[in-house]
Amino acid sequence: MKYWNKARIRREKKREDRAGERALRRVKELERLRITYSAGDTRKNTALMLDVLGSEVNRQMLARLRRRGAMSVTKLAEPFRITLPAAVTRVNALERAGLITTHKRGRIRFCVCNPAALKELSAHLASRDPFDN
């Protein structure tokens, strides 16, 4: 027979806390996957891309990357007169939508346009009936 002493109560509480933390991590991971580009899930990807492309600055950043090729976040944000943290937020949104990829080399984060995502978006929009919900 087990007795409910202070040590056992403390162990049970820790066990429950760890189980709650694991469940919270699972929920956060599922939420992250829900709002991140996934190859093959065209409907979700299209919604993510259109959501990000709703901002004029995001569209201009993407156009600048397409014209000039890979560049650092600082160089990318230069003409928009926005702070570096604001530029990083926009770059993260573009990356989460799959429109760009980033690579870190030393202290500098380089951004590269992902043309496959744009082709996927245009193919999906071209294949849809504009009056179909």
Same domain for 24 and 70, yes or no, is no
Same domain for 2 and 59, yes or no, is no
Predicted pLDDT at 1: 64
Q: Would you call 88 exposed, middle or buried from its count of C-beta atoms within 10 A (0-12, 13-18, 19+)?
A: middle
Same domain for 95 and 46, yes or no, is yes
Q: How many domains does the chain have?
A: 2
> Is 132 domain-assigned?
no
- Strands 100-105 and 71-72, bridge-based pairing: unpaired
Predicted pLDDT at 10: 94
CATH number at residue 57: 1.10.10.10
For 8-29, the DSSP string reads HHHHHHHHHHHHHHHHHHHHHH
Predicted pLDDT at 131: 60
Mean pLDDT on 118-126? 89
Predicted pLDDT at 133: 56
Query: pTM for the whole thing?
Result: 0.76
Same domain for 47 and 97, yes or no, is yes
What are the tens digits of pLDDT across the range 34-90? 888 887 788 888 999 999 999 999 999 999 999 999 999 999 999 998 999 999 999
State the Cα–Cα distance between residues 115 and 123, nearest whole angstrom. Answer: 12
Q: Residue 104 forms beta bridges with which residues?
A: 109
Of the candidates 47, 63, 51, the residue with the CA atom closest to the CA atom of residue 100: 63
Same domain for 54 and 112, yes or no, is yes
Range of the domain at 72: 42-127
